[in-house]
């Protein structure tokens, strides 16, 4: 029988969430968790006066959920502070946006200590432990300090920048050194892997550098295709189709985050309307961007900036019977999004930096093979090396966005299909399941990190 898998992540999924509507990590790890005994450990999502010393444990079939409430102070320093306002911008190459405070950093280390202290007694000797993302750089080292000898893996979902840039962050070396406690250190792309190896080598951890591998994450491609096919005739999709009265649809789907390049994207669309008048009145751009991290100042100012852009673009270009830019900041269900993506002639995905970007892969999976749309994609998304048929852009250049949009909107069906087919194949091959299995082969030690990553 397979040994137990212990997943540690900032958030633990809600077991009541239906498979068809769940997103993110829960979907990516579904296969790994379904095939063996597993435990998922992390923050409950609730806050209390102080961080709990002991987790709440609940059993759901073969899956154990162990969750901790975070103290108010810890939530502020660890989550809102160091994770979201310091590490997030730094890892996305935006050092200028990073706010550093020693209190936040201490809170971050404290919560990693508290996680390790609560988790260590629950571990069995042969468990495989897999920690996820930038919230948990020090977790492995904290577990080792408590005598845990289990195989420990870490996967970073976001980019890792060149060491010189990362070093702009106070205490950067300590954070890199923490990673050396893990047996397998996974990142999304070869570029991230090269950057992280450089960082580890620079602090004298050449051994750990050899345990870094690129494991590009994927989606449940067939599942998403089925969702999109079913949604094609759903009332929501039908209403959107009718409202377009034959106009081409451009779709963007992102969390409202400054890494996603939304202001530049809006400028790019404005440039399309200004420079390519043949598309005026012929195209509608729908941007779905639910508010996230609304308690961090930069996210509030981004929201105001986008509100202004929407007003400016529609004010300048709209006709009584045509709204060029439709903008929704509420969450939209996955089935509905899948139907919208299938309807769209262009998927517009222009993050300034992104670990992978699953929306780009979902857009490809959602297309009708007989009449697929075109993908306009940032060259700085981790998905770009895998999606060679996309129209690549530098997301900082609104003119280039406009030019690629024009190209996509004018592209004949045969060329769209020829570009789409190899991308669909790549998305079907590189699924979430394949990603999980590759990482676990390395974590189990049945393959070296280099062999498992290359497979």
Q: Note the residues at the interface with ligand ADQ (CB under 6 A).
A: 23-24, 157-158, 217, 253-255, 288, 290, 331-332, 337, 354-359, 362, 382
**Nearest residue (CB) to ligand ADQ, 148 versus 214:** 214
**Nearest residue (CB) to ligand ADQ, 381 versus 452:** 381
Please classify residue 189 by burial: count the beta carbons closer than 10 Å to its beta carbon, then call 0-12 exposed, 13-18 middle and 19+ buried: buried
Cβ neighbours of 270 (radius 10 Å): 20
Report the distance separating Cα 306 and Cα 313, nearest Å. 10
The SS3 of residue 110 is: helix
Please classify residue 14 by burial: count the beta carbons closer than 10 Å to its beta carbon, then call 0-12 exposed, 13-18 middle and 19+ buried: exposed
- Backbone angles phi and psi of 48, in degrees to 5: -140, 180
Cβ at position 355, least distance to ligand ADQ in Å:
3
Cβ at position 362, least distance to ligand ADQ in Å:
5
Cβ at position 293, least distance to ligand ADQ in Å:
11
Report the distance separating Cα 227 and Cα 206, nearest Å. 45
Cβ at position 358, least distance to ligand ADQ in Å:
3
Cβ at position 12, least distance to ligand ADQ in Å:
16
**Nearest residue (CB) to ligand ADQ, 284 versus 287:** 287
Residue labelled with tokens 């998305």: 427
Nearest in space to 42 (alpha carbons), one of 102, 103, 105, 129: 129
DSSP H stretches of helix in 203-296 = 206-209, 221-231, 235-244, 262-275
**Nearest residue (CB) to ligand ADQ, 24 versus 207:** 24
Nearest in space to 365 (alpha carbons), one of 344, 338, 336: 338
Contact assessment for residue 10 and residue 26, using Cβ atoms and an 8 Å cutoff: no
DSSP structural state of residue 237 = H
**Nearest residue (CB) to ligand ADQ, 18 versus 319:** 18
- Reported residue count of the chain is 455
Cβ at position 452, least distance to ligand ADQ in Å:
17
Would strands 391-393 and 151-155 be described as parallel, antiparallel, or unpaired?
Answer: unpaired
**Nearest residue (CB) to ligand ADQ, 148 versus 212:** 212
Cβ at position 135, least distance to ligand ADQ in Å:
12
Report the distance separating Cα 144 and Cα 152, nearest Å. 9
Q: In what order do the strands lie in the sheet with 346-349?
A: 325-328, 283-288, 248-253, 346-349, 374-378, 391-393
Report the distance separating Cα 204 and Cα 124, nearest Å. 32
- The distance in angstroms from the start CA to the end CA of the chain is 24
Report the distance separating Cα 164 and Cα 411, nearest Å. 42
Report the distance separating Cα 81 and Cα 235, nearest Å. 42
Cβ at position 329, least distance to ligand ADQ in Å:
9
**Nearest residue (CB) to ligand ADQ, 193 versus 356:** 356
User: How many degrees, rounded to 5, is the angle at CA 359 between CA 67 and CA 273?
Assistant: 140
**Nearest residue (CB) to ligand ADQ, 113 versus 255:** 255
Cβ at position 156, least distance to ligand ADQ in Å:
9
DSSP structural state of residue 125 = T
- What residues does 256 pair with on adjacent strands? 291
Report the distance separating Cα 155 and Cα 309, nearest Å. 36
Q: Please identify every residue annotated as catalytic.
A: 157, 354
**Nearest residue (CB) to ligand ADQ, 354 versus 386:** 354
């Amino acid at each position: 029988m397979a040994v137990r898998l212990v997943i540690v992540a900032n958030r633990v999924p809600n077991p009541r969430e239906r498979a068809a509507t769940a997103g993110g990590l829960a979907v990516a790890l579904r296969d790994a968790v379904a095939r063996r005994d597993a435990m998922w450990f992390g923050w409950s999502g609730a806050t209390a006066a102080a961080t709990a010393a002991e987790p709440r444990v609940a059993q759901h079939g073969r899956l154990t959920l162990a969750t901790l409430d975070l103290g108010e102070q810890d939530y502020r320093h660890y989550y809102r502070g160091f994770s979201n306002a310091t590490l997030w911008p730094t890892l996305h190459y935006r050092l200028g946006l990073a706010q550093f405070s020693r209190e936040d950093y201490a809170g971050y280390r404290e919560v990693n200590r508290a996680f390790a202290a609560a988790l260590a007694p629950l571990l069995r000797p042969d468990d495989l432990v897999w920690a996820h993302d930038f919230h948990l750089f020090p977790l492995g080292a904290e577990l080792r300090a408590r005598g845990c000898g289990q195989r420990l893996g870490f996967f970073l979902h976001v980019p890792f920048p060149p060491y010189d840039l990362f070093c702009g962050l106070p205490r950067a070396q300590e954070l890199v050194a923490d990673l050396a406690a893990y047996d397998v250190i996974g990142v999304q792309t070869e570029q991230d892997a090269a950057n992280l190896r450089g960082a580890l080598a620079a602090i004298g951890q050449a051994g750990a550098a050899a345990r870094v591998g690129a494991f590009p994450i994927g989606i449940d491609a067939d599942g998403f295709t089925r969702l999109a096919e079913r949604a094609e005739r759903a009332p929501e999709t039908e209403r959107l189709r009718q409202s377009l009265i034959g106009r081409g649809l451009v779709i963007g789907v992102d969390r409202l985050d400054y890494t996603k390049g939304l202001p530049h994207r809006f400028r790019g669309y404005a440039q399309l309307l200004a420079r390519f008048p043949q598309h005026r009145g012929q195209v509608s751009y729908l941007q779905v961007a639910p508010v996230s991290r609304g308690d961090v100042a930069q996210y509030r100012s981004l929201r105001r900036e986008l509100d202004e852009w929407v007003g400016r673009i529609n004010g300048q270009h709209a006709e009584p019977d045509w709204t060029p830019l439709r903008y929704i900041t509420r969450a939209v269900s996955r089935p509905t999004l899948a139907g919208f993506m299938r309807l769209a002639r262009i998927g517009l995905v222009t993050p300034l930096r992104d670990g992978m970007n699953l929306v780009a892969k979902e857009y490809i999976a959602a297309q009708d093979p007989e009449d697929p749309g075109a993908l306009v994609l940032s060259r700085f998304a981790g998905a770009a090396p895998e999606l060679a048929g996309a129209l690549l852009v530098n997301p900082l250049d609104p003119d280039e966005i406009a030019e690629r949009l024009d190209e996509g909107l004018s592209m004949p069906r045969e060329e769209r299909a020829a570009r789409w087919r190899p991308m669909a194949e790549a998305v079907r091959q590189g699924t979430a399941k394949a990603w999980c299995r590759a990482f676990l082969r390395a974590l189990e030690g049945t393959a070296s990190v280099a062999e498992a990553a290359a497979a």
